[in-house]
Amino acid sequence: MKIVYQSKTGFTEKYAKMLGERLGITPIRLKDYRPATDDEIIFLSWVTANGIAKLSKVKGKCKIKCIGAVGLAVPSEENTNNLLNANKICDIPLFYLRGGVDFTKLKGLTKWLMKTIVKSDIKKNVIVGDSETILTKGISFVSEDNLDEITTFIRS
């Protein structure tokens, strides 16, 4: 079993390393991985406009035991169902892991877009905390506990 991951600003990488520690597997960056049909992988990647980044690089090219999708949205059944539909996933278990936003690593239009979303989330109390710090640095929702469900599934 391999852990393969794609991360833009580091949250998915954190989860990949934490999961790797739990399972005793060294995670591999997607760019360092060449899919093989016999490989069984756990694929972790970040959510962008409801898409799971780079999923097409592994889907159908190796056995995917499960997917960990890392996004900023609050976890909910509706959110997970949206991800399943938007990414046309019907036969692979998907686990949503809440990541965060790191404004020190985003640039240009993407940074502006994420600031708009986060400002609105702060207004709606979906994101709580010191707004100035959040809008300058960002916020992380990464925690060990978030990995419990996917870990139990992999071990079962």
Ligand X SMILES: Cc1cc2nc3c(=O)[nH]c(=O)nc-3n(C[C@H](O)[C@H](O)[C@H](O)COP(=O)(O)O)c2cc1C
DSSP, res 144: G
Q: Does 146 bind ligand X (CB under 6 A)?
A: no
Q: Does 87 bind ligand X (CB under 6 A)?
A: no
Among 35, 99, 134, 139, binds ligand X (CB under 6 A): 99
Shortest Å distance, C-beta 155 to ligand X: 24
Name which of 54, 47, 93 is nearest 69 in CA terms: 47
Cα separation, 54 vs 39, in Å, equals 17
Name which of 31, 22, 8, 13 is nearest 153 in CA terms: 22
Q: Does 109 bind ligand X (CB under 6 A)?
A: no
Cα separation, 104 vs 125, in Å, equals 23
Among 2, 3, 4, 7, binds ligand X (CB under 6 A): 7
Among 31, 32, 37, 49, binds ligand X (CB under 6 A): 49
Site string for ligand X, 9-38 (x = CB under 6 A): xxxx--------------------------
Angle of helix 11-23 versus helix 148-155 axis, rounded to 10: 40
By the criterion CB under 6 A, which residues form the site for ligand X?
7-12, 46-50, 70-73, 99-101, 110, 114
